[in-house]
Amino acid sequence: MSFVTPRKETRGAAKDKRKHKPTGATPLPDKKKPGSRTVQITDTISVEFTDPEDDEDVVGQVDATKQEEELTPAQLRSQRKGRRDMRRLSDKMEYVKVDPKATPQQPTPSKNAKSIVPNAKPDAATSTSLILPPTQVLEILTKIFAEVEQDDRAMYKVNPDVIREETSQCVKSSLVEKTNAADLKRLLTYGEVLPEAFTSSIIPFLSLEASDVFYDLGCGTGKIVVQVALETTLRDARGIELMLNRVVEGQRALDRLQSTYPEHISTKSISILQGDICHSATQVAMMDATVVFINNVLFPPEVMSAVCDLLKQLKNLKRVVTMKKICERHREGRCRRDGNACVLFNDPPVQAKVAVSWAKHAFAYLYQVR
């Protein structure tokens, strides 16, 4: 039984005849700033990162101020909206009544759950991996998500009625069912890592290959999922999100992508599914994940612990990026004794300063499986 409500996937069949820029080809400047370090990702790609304590912008990071100046009005609106949403976290909130004895619902595909191309798997022999330059990807994202940007009030609303309504079709984990109202509100609050920052600081680290299976756990409307699919050789990009309205918006964007730019996704499988990431990896049906992104900045410890249990089950996992450290007080011996998921990864993680919608910048933590 899958605990993920099936949603659309998209793929086409045309062959790529374009010239591509290799993944992670962000030019690296000659000079290294003090306090930063260079991380060799592949033979040809290296990225320079810095510690969060060193608040100066360094190479490989997005200059948030500069970026703000360069954003389009729609992007600026979205960024400001995200910041407002994150600041409103402490707003008064009613109690969400949840019946703890309620039997979990089977995932019932909603009326929007039709697939464009279900279980799309490109034929390796015929598929040429398509990579678009980041500027073109940004243009595409702006177009296909324009509707969300125009009227995003409902999209990002988080109150007990909205939560109840938008999660009612999903089989929720017992953990989410019993999460208190304030934590639930935090958990489901929206915020985005800006695409430019994902391009410059995170995608190079992910070092995605055609054979990788990328997941954004808590993907919102799925912008990152679409972005990595278009900007790298990756063929399989998936997002899982609990709030149905965000999934539906993501689905609409996928529809627009399919109808407007079919040639760009001819070899790709992109999906945005409704599901609860606090289930096990088999329940979420993500055993094949190799690279995972989690914007966990507002996840309470119990939720992060459930997500770590899920990560531990992923046999092919290579890299994970989080927006809050997986283990805040890592001690190798103790964490190993306690069986913590953090021992799976390099520690300390590589840290990258990234522009986000809820603040001028935040830090991404880039983990490599040992």
Ligand X SMILES: C[S@@+](CC[C@H](N)C(=O)[O-])C[C@H]1O[C@@H](n2cnc3c(N)ncnc32)[C@H](O)[C@@H]1O
Q: Which residues contact 293 (CB under 8 A, 6 or more apart)?
A: 202, 206, 214, 215, 216, 217, 224, 320, 321, 322
Rule CB under 6 A: which of 287-346 touch ligand X? Answer: 295
- Helix orientation angle between 134-144 and 244-260, rounded to the nearest 10 degrees: 120
- Which residues in 116-127 are b (16+ Cβ under 10 Å) and which e? bbeebebeeeeb
276 lines the binding site for ligand X (CB under 6 A)? yes
Q: Given the rule CB under 6 A, which of 73-81, 213-221, 229-237, 249-257 is the region that contacts ligand X?
A: 213-221
The residue written with tokens 């990002």 in the block is 156
253: enclosing H helix or E strand: helix 244-260
- Please select the residue that binds ligand X; options are 149, 152, 196, 216, rule is CB under 6 A: 216
Whole-Å CA distances, 106 to 177, 280, 287, 338, 349? 15, 16, 20, 34, 38
- Work out how close the CB of 345 gets to ligand X at its nearest, in angstroms, rounded to a whole number: 19
219 lines the binding site for ligand X (CB under 6 A)? yes
204 lines the binding site for ligand X (CB under 6 A)? no
229 lines the binding site for ligand X (CB under 6 A)? no
362: enclosing H helix or E strand: strand 362-368
Q: Which residues contact 180 (CB under 8 A, 6 or more apart)?
A: none
Contact by Cβ (8 Å): 70, 155 = no
Encoding tokens for residue 8?
A: 């659309």
- Work out how close the CB of 140 gets to ligand X at its nearest, in angstroms, rounded to a whole number: 16
The residue written with tokens 């000659």 in the block is 30
- Work out how close the CB of 223 gets to ligand X at its nearest, in angstroms, rounded to a whole number: 6
Contact by Cβ (8 Å): 54, 351 = no
- Work out how close the CB of 53 gets to ligand X at its nearest, in angstroms, rounded to a whole number: 23
Give the residue from 357, 327, 351, 322 showing the smallest Cα distance to 340.
327
228 lines the binding site for ligand X (CB under 6 A)? no
Cα 84–86–92 angle (5° rounding)?
Answer: 90
- Please select the residue that binds ligand X; options are 49, 145, 190, 363, rule is CB under 6 A: 190
Q: What is the per-residue binding string for ligand X in 150-189, x denoting contact by CB under 6 A? A: --------------------------x----------xx-
Contact by Cβ (8 Å): 362, 70 = no
- Work out how close the CB of 188 gets to ligand X at its nearest, in angstroms, rounded to a whole number: 4
Nearer to ligand X, 122 or 218 (CB): 218
Nearer to ligand X, 59 or 247 (CB): 247
- Please select the residue that binds ligand X; options are 220, 254, 281, 322, rule is CB under 6 A: 220
The size of the interface with ligand X (CB under 6 A), counted in residues, is 21
Contact by Cβ (8 Å): 267, 14 = no
Rule CB under 6 A: which of 231-250 touch ligand X? Answer: 240-243, 246
- Work out how close the CB of 216 gets to ligand X at its nearest, in angstroms, rounded to a whole number: 5
- Please select the residue that binds ligand X; options are 137, 224, 247, 272, rule is CB under 6 A: 224
- Please select the residue that binds ligand X; options are 234, 278, 314, 342, rule is CB under 6 A: 278
Q: Which residues bind ligand X (CB under 6 A)?
A: 176, 187-188, 190-193, 216, 218-220, 224, 240-243, 246, 276-278, 295
